Amino acid sequence: MLVFYAGWKLSGLVVGVGAATVVGLGAYAWERHRERPGVMARVALGFVLVQAAVGLAAGSAKVYLAQPVLLNGALGLAFLVSVFAGRPLAGAFAAEMYPFPPQVRESDTFRRVFTGVSLAWAVYLLARTTLRLFTLQMSVDAFVVVNVATGLPVSSALMTWSVWYGVRGFRRSEEWGWALAEGGQPA
């Protein structure tokens, strides 16, 4: 987003969109070079290309910037719906990062812990979406400030909290607390 903003401010919409698209292509190439599956990189690249096409077709920086905001809102709704469906989305993400055994993934502790994490992410994503859409209506410059302030710093803090909360939830559970204790034997 900052690459887009710099290009847009310096030379206009086409340069901003082009520069941001080059960064997206670079991120995709980096993932493929590291021999990762690149599923998320492919999805992100697809979105970058669609975002560029829509932004250029509309001829509007606001339309270009609104697209990832709306996607963020949809992700917030997905986190919220997943909780009500009894399949917290944060649990799916956690299972992608750590190979939880099937009996852990099916446990009450897993569902309870990742329901809490999913709700926290839903609130953050939906609140951030609302704030950014409101700010984008005022000005692109204000939007950039709000986007940066509510992006990496807040999401990093929330990610840190999510890990802490998850580990704490498993350690305190009667179901799995023994597995995290020294020795790892049931009581």
Exposed / middle / buried, residue 107 (Cβ in 10 Å: 0-12, 13-18, 19+)? middle
pLDDT, greater one: 178 or 167: 167
Q: Provide the pLDDT confidence category of residue 28 given band limits of 50, 70 and 90.
A: confident
Tens-digit pLDDT profile for residues 139-167: 999 999 999 999 999 999 999 999 999 99
3-state helix vs strand vs coil in the chain, percent to 5: 85, 0, 15
- Report the alpha-carbon distance of residue 163 to residue 76 in Å, rounded: 19
Q: Packing angle between helix 108-138 and helix 152-172, nearest 10 degrees? A: 170
Q: Indicate whether 68 pLDDT > 60.
A: yes
CA-to-CA dists, residue 176 to 76, 83, 102, 116, angstroms: 29, 21, 13, 17
The amino acid occupying position 98 is: Y
- Report the alpha-carbon distance of residue 1 to residue 12 in Å, rounded: 14
CA-to-CA dists, residue 159 to 47, 110, 121, 124, 165, angstroms: 23, 17, 9, 11, 10
Span 49-65, mean pLDDT? 95
Q: Which of 31-40, 87-96, 113-122, 130-139 has the lowest mean pLDDT?
A: 31-40
- Report the alpha-carbon distance of residue 90 to residue 94 in Å, rounded: 6
Span 72-89, mean pLDDT? 96
